[in-house]
Structure 1
Amino acid sequence: LAKQVGVPAIVVFLNKEDQVDDKELLELVELEVRDILDKYGFASDDIPVLAGSALLALEALVENEDIKPGDNEWVDKIYKLMETVDQHIPTPEREMDKPFLLAVEDVFSITGRGTVATGRVERGSLKVGDTVEIIGLSDTKSTTVTGIEMFQKTLDETIAGDNVGILLRGVQKKDIERGMVIAKPGTITPHTKFEGQVYVLTPEEGGRKSGFFKGYQPQFYVRTTDVTGKIMSFSYIKQRNPSELSTMHSNPMVCPGDYVNMVIELITPIAIEK
């Protein structure tokens, strides 16, 4: 799943090391983890794998919050984990060069001022006085930004990565809801139909135990919204067990572990893009 959604870098931490008496067993677990990483397209030789006990480290810090590096083995392992994360996980770059977009997380009204939509700025920048569009779940609306606030401070401008509240002119609370997006006009449009590449998680990965057919209607989560969609058609990219009846059946079935291309039709329009 991490590979499918585009996670670029990973550090592995094997927890509960204190419950393993045989160190060779820990080495076998690490080898198995690296095999799994390779299976899903990660370069396991370049990925750090560390072990420790989060519980014992926490208990030590609760007992003595002034513990310094070198005072406790389990706390040191957590320090080492964070140092490794700092070294191997790149700092995300703010997408400042792209058009403004914010997915609405919550909406509330301020007496005498108007409607405020809150969320994290996904990309771009926005200034007070800018014109924006509210897109998805209903008809697209155009409005003007009359105020921006972050952590109870008034701003003239917000940029990618900020969690802000945006005051919108002439918009009623009933006109905007969680799952809509606020964007620069003309940069993103609502759709009810799209094609996507899908990997179906197996039971071992926390996914499905059974397959499904064309016409299945699951929930689709996009940014801050979830909406029901119908699988109109699919084609196999790679099957986990291609010899199964799923390929021979007159009504083919998608099984856990399969990679497929799907055409989806949603019951309501949402703002999506490639």
Structure 2
Amino acid sequence: MSAPSLVLGTAGHIDHGKSSLVHALTGTDPDRLKEEKDRGITIELGFARLELPSGRAMGVVDVPGHEKFVRQMVAGATGIDVVMLVIAADDGVMPQTREHLAILDLLGVDTGVVALTKIDLVEPDWIELVSADIAALLVGTGIEGAPIVPVSSRTRQGVDELLKVLDEVATDAPSKHANLPMRLPVDRVFTIAGAGTVVTGTMWSGSATKDDLVEIYPERVDARVRGVQVHSTAVERAHAGQRVAMNVAGVERDQISRGDIIAAPGTLTVTDRFDARFTYLGLPGDDRPFETGARVHVNHGTREVLGRVLLMDGVESLAPGQSALTQIRLEEPLAPRFDDRFIVRSYSPVYTIGGGVVLDALPPRRTNLKDHERELLDALLAHDLSSASVGLLAARALPMSSAEVAAALGVPRAQVADELNKAKLERLKIGTETAFIT
């Protein structure tokens, strides 16, 4: 069996050499906009294909490092398996280094390598000092203990060693959810003469092939897959963990936008609120608590919307480092799934202040939990599918089919059906479907 497909994402402060390093590793210049060339910084996401010494290939997502473009960074970091944290030896750890590291932690990225760039500009003893600072910075993060590889894109010193380390790290990276329904967050949309609408993104789960029927969320527009490409090559089927270009039929360019999700029909729920476990990081050098009801930017997948974070059960505030059950209320709809990660950024000035994990994607509007609602959230936190399936029925207090429960939990229908059939539940026939109720 071939190794699962993986996506490598860059992270790091502006002008620390992320794009130059990607160019040195892949031979592809990820800076694709004239403005990026003129200004010498990455504004949009760049993409490349990396051949590792073992023969394995990785997709590469190069993200911007400027503080004004953190939204694009979050979009790029969504769906990556391995991070390459880029830190310039002459600068050391900088503000966006810390912010990007916090975002990666909140997104659950726990496999990575540090590329210590621009080593041709400093003395060897300085490289040792900066490496020690970086190792200390990583303590307590998801990539604590990650290898630190000194490298110069200009002289190519260390490039081969970095490729070797990336190959080793990729071997240990967790595989994507190939058994879950297909889901592709859209990060680019364009049209090609004679082909029509094309979208790109990182395949989060499942797979897609020509003539598959799909649904575009949150608009709920039906479409069909006309063809798929991986790294600019037409393939029979695109899989989870790959950078994918998808030609979609039955949809006009103005019916789909960056931030939408293309998924298997009927597998997602569209919502203006979701229950979550939220962790508050605070602002740099600021110990002020997070107040319930604060208006924030919510980043999920490649979409950003405004919303409010409501703390549950009478909790009024959180100190930096604290977590709580919350209901996130949105000003525009999203299509999240149980166990998705999200980022929260302050309303103004905009800075990453926290994030968390989606629990119930379609809850009632409330902040005071009843016993069965708390039991449901506890089961979801514990990934107890059996208790969560039954708990969801109790929380909704309405008949639900196994397909509806599966969509709410983001798991295969067969898996949910097994759990519901084991439970002692009342069954109702609604059309051709069997519905369950507690």
- What TM-score results when the alignment is normalised by the length of structure 1? 0.68
Count of residues in correspondence between the two structures: 230
Structure that is richer in helix per residue: 2
> Which residue of structure 2 aligns with residue 58 of structure 1?
152
Q: Whole-Å Cα distance in 2 between the matches of residues 151 and 84 of structure 1?
A: 22
Question: Highest relative contact order (Cα 8 Å, sep 6+), 1 or 2?
Answer: 1
Partners of 1:48 and 1:153 in 2: CA distance: 33
Q: Which of 213, 216, 226 lines up with 2:294 in the alignment?
A: 216
Change (3 A) 1:208 1:217: farther
Deviation at 1:88, TM superposition (A): 5.6
Alignment of structure 1 residues 153-168 onto 2, 5 Å: 153-168=233-248
CA distance 1:87–1:166, shift in 2 (3 Å) = closer
Q: TM-score, normalised by structure 2?
A: 0.45
1:222, CA displacement in angstroms? 0.7
Q: How many Å apart are 1:103 and its aligned residue?
A: 0.5
* 1: CA distance, partners of 2:285 / 2:181: 35
Say whether the 8 Å CA contact 1:235–1:260 is kept in structure 2. no
- Aligned partners of 1:43 and 1:270: how far apart in 2? 29
| Superposition deviation, residue 219 in structure 1 | 0.6
- What amino acid does structure 2 have at the position aligned with 1:212? F
Structure 2 CA distance for aligned equivalents of residues 20 and 163 of structure 1: 34
Q: 1:86-138 deviations in whole A, cap 9, x for unaligned?
A: 546613424322211101111112234321121121111111111000012x3
* 1:43 to partner: Cα distance: 11
For residues 241 and 212 of structure 2, the distance between their equivalents in structure 1, rounded to whole angstroms, comes to 18
Aligned residues of 2:307 and 2:331 also touching (Cα < 8 A):
yes
Q: In the aligned structure 2, how far is the partner of 1:153 from the partner of 1:110?
A: 16
Work out which of the two has the higher radius of gyration on C-alpha atoms and give 1 or 2: 1
The aligned residue for residue 240 of structure 1 is: none
Question: How many angstroms does 1:224 deviate by?
Answer: 0.5
Secondary structure, aligned partner of 1:174: helix
Q: Check whether the contact 1:48–1:84 (CA below 8 A) recurs between aligned residues.
A: no
Q: Percent identical across equivalent pairs?
A: 25
Q: Which amino acid aligns with 2:177?
A: E
Once residues 295 and 257 of structure 2 are traced to their aligned partners in structure 1, the CA distance between those partners, rounded to angstroms, is 23
- Pick one of 308, 311, 322 that aligns with 1:233: 311
Task: For residue 149 of structure 1, report the CA deviation from its aligned partner.
Answer: 2.9
Q: Is the 8 A contact 2:216 2:263 kept in 1?
A: yes
Task: Give the 3 Å change call, closer, same or farther, for CA 160–213 of structure 1 in structure 2.
Answer: same
CA RMSD of aligned residues (A): 3.6
Distance 1:98 1:186 in 2: 13
Matched to 1:186, the amino acid is G
1:70 match: none
The 5 A counterparts of 1:38-187 are 47=145, 54=150, 57-58=151-152, 62=155, 65=156, 75=158, 79=161, 86-87=167-168, 90-136=172-218, 138=219, 140-187=220-267
SS in 2 for 1:218: strand
Unaligned runs of at least 5 residues, structure 1: 68-74, 237-246
Give me the whole-angstrom Cα distance separating, in 2, the residues matched to 1:188 and 1:198: 22
Output the CA distance in 2 between the equivalents of 1:256 and 1:150: 41
The SS at the match of 2:203 is strand
